Amino acid sequence: MEGLEKKSLGGRIASLDALRGFDMFWIIGGDAICRSLPAIKDTPLTRLLARQVDHNPWAGFTFYDLIFPLFLFIIGAVFPFSLLKRIEKGESKKHLYFHIVKRSLILILLGLVAAGLLELDFANMRWMGVLQRIGLCYFLVSILVVNTKWRTQLGVFFGILLLYWAATMLVPVPHFGAGNLTPEGCLHSYIDQKVLPGRISAEFYGPGDSLGVISTLTAACSLLLGVFAGYWLKSERSGRKKTLGLLMGGFFCLAIGYLWGMVFPIIKHIWTSTYVLWAGGWCLLLMAVFYWIIDVKGRSRWAFFFVVIGMNAILIYFGQEVVDFDGIAKFFLSGVVRTTGAIGLVLLPIGALAAKWLALRFLYRHKIFFKV
């Protein structure tokens, strides 16, 4: 099993694929399992676990608020081992730009299809989405990384965070004024209402889109922070020094995010600058733990479950919108669920997750990996 894992990684940092799989695990079923636990036994612990796999209503931070920035962070961390490797091999910028544009457009198109593009009801369609944001962030950061050095990228990173803060706090919104950080009165919501076509989904926070226009820039910073981590991992330093560097970077981001958050709240829905730093700090700490255990200490067998998910992350994210895995779980487990009472509420999400993992395991075994 361990041999298969190393072969599939193609020379990349093994922990990146495991961490990506850990991240996707919560999206494809881990969250549903945790939410069902209070129905089996209602305790402070089960309620806490269920609460942590839901997004915070506005200001604040839960574990589930980490999932999306972690995915962007991992995409960025792979850049030095993928995108920049093309430059090192002498690939022309013309071909590189074609690759970047093609990949970005495919991600955006997949996101639009998942949002209902084929229904042709454009007036009621939500145009922003997870895959669309990934595609846009990938495009912006790729162009930056291909054409600049790390010092310039670092300047852009902090520049965007400061400019976003300044715009949010100083630009007046009609009827609300400047510095209003309520869902109704913030600059983010105002711009979404003026710019976005289709509908703005009340499922998220109503007045604006959680994946709206101007927060795409700060979301790109989450990806760019991953690029910096990738540079560090690709360096010639020892595994111990790399791990310590990731830990120090993580604690630094958490400290700055926390202190800045006292005056500029951590808000996932509008991807505030403090949210970038706070979530980024946890991303760096998780990366340090996974890297130390898997790549430095060589203990990777436990991570095989996550690697299988991580190697086809985009496929399973899009695929669960197309394939009725919940229906598959009900077909096989309906009898068990009917006779086990409350326990059946957790068996169904476990069954759906198992169906997804087995499908991914089949693809992994046959070395079929979906790339855009």
Residue 141 in domain: yes
Q: What pLDDT, on a 0 to 100 scale, did the predictor assign at position 73?
A: 98
Residue 38 in domain: yes
List the pLDDT tens digit at each of the 372 positions of the chain: 333 333 333 446 889 999 999 999 999 999 999 999 998 889 999 999 999 999 989 999 999 999 999 999 999 999 999 888 888 888 888 999 999 999 999 999 999 998 889 888 888 888 999 999 999 999 999 999 999 999 999 999 999 999 999 999 999 999 999 999 999 999 999 999 999 988 887 666 778 899 999 999 999 999 999 999 999 999 999 999 999 999 999 999 999 999 999 999 999 999 999 999 999 999 999 999 999 999 999 999 999 999 999 999 999 999 998 899 999 998 888 888 777 777 878 899 999 999 999 999 999 999 999 877
Q: In Å, what is the CA distance from 117 to each residue of 128, 200, 357?
A: 12, 15, 28
CB distance 44 to 53 below 8 Å: no
- At CA 155, angle to CA 150 and CA 160, rounded to 5? 125
Residue 186: which domain range? 2-365
Determine phi and psi for 177, rounding to 5 degrees: 85, -170
Residue 56 in domain: yes
Residue 106 in domain: yes
Q: What pLDDT, on a 0 to 100 scale, did the predictor assign at position 4?
A: 34
pTM here? 0.93
Determine phi and psi for 266, rounding to 5 degrees: -80, 110
Distance (Å, whole) CA 1 – CA 134? 31
Residue 370 in domain: no
Alpha helix segments (H runs only) across the chain: 2-8, 14-25, 31-40, 44-52, 67-78, 83-88, 93-114, 130-147, 150-170, 187-195, 215-234, 239-260, 273-290, 304-310, 313-322, 325-340, 344-365
CB distance 77 to 227 below 8 Å: yes
For the four alpha carbons of 19, 20, 25 and 26, in that order, the dihedral sign comes to positive
Residue 235 in domain: yes
Residue 372 in domain: no
Residue 215 in domain: yes
- Provide the number of structural domains found in the chain: 1
